[in-house]
Amino acid sequence: MNSYPQELSTGKQNLCTTRQTRVSYPQLASNLTPTLRSNCLKQAAEAGSLLKRVELLGKSIALTALLSITSITIASAYNPNVEAYKVYSHMKLLDDKQYRCLVILWRNESQWNPKAKNPKSSAYGIPQLLKMTERNPYKQIDLGLKYIAYRYGNPCKALDHHKKVGHY
């Protein structure tokens, strides 16, 4: 016989003193009285609901950030292709900073409208190039990017010039 007192075992684990990495509410609730069990299950449901609300909030924040980066304008509300034009431009540039500059530049110039005409000059299309005859918006984007690369080096430098003089 041992000299220290022995604990009586009921055959069930004592979840309060047993070290476990995780104890789920249903496991814990099975060892409780019916009143405590219902309270535990209610708390589990509330925790799950809170987790869903946090998850939805996270998605909402991500969507808001995405919309602010792409700068959806009134023109895109009337022309759903505007977002496709922006994606095409982004794929051509492969640089987020330059893409953001390009979005701002061409939003100021044409609102990303491939049919935009400048009443004071012969500028036309998304990039508002002089004497532009191209009607295909994707070819307009290609021509606009070529012009920017030749004249300014990159869209951010073109945007800086636009901010100083009102055109690029």
Query: What pLDDT digit, counting tens, does each position of 98-129 carry?
Result: 999 999 999 999 999 999 999 999 999 999 99
Mean pLDDT across 28-36: 59
In angstroms, the CA 55 to CA 66 distance is: 17
Q: How many structural domains are present in the chain?
A: 2
Instruction: Work out the widest C-alpha separation in the chain, in whole angstroms.
Output: 106
Strand ranges, E, within the chain: none
Question: Which range of residues forms the domain containing residue 55?
Answer: 15-70
**pLDDT range class, residue 87, cuts 50, 70, 90:** very high
- Asked if pLDDT for residue 154 goes beyond 70, the answer is yes
In angstroms, the CA 32 to CA 40 distance is: 9
pLDDT at res. 59: 61
Task: Point out the domain boundary residue: 70, 91, 108.
Answer: 70
Question: In residues, how long is the chain?
Answer: 168
Q: What is the pTM of this model?
A: 0.55
- Top pLDDT among 81 and 21 is at 81
Q: Quick one: 91 and 66 in the same domain?
A: no
Query: Is the torsion defined by CA of 152, 157, 161, 167 positive or negative?
Result: positive
Average pLDDT, the chain: 77
Task: Point out the domain boundary residue: 45, 70, 95.
Answer: 70
Q: Quick one: 87 and 156 in the same domain?
A: yes
pLDDT at res. 62: 57
In angstroms, the CA 14 to CA 9 distance is: 9
The Cβ of residue 152 has, within 10 Å, a number of other Cβ atoms equal to 17
Cβ-proximal residues to 52 (8 Å cutoff; 6+ apart), any chain = none
Q: Quick one: 91 and 60 in the same domain?
A: no
Strand, helix or coil for residue 34: helix
C-alpha distances (whole Å) from 103 to each of 23, 33, 75, 95, 110 are 51, 62, 13, 12, 10
Percent of the chain with pLDDT over 70: 54
Q: Quick one: 161 and 109 in the same domain?
A: yes
Percent of the chain with pLDDT over 90: 52
* Residue 142 domain-assigned (yes or no): yes
Amino acid at 145: L
pLDDT at res. 72: 45
Which residues sit opposite 117 in a β-bridge? 124
* Residue 42 domain-assigned (yes or no): yes
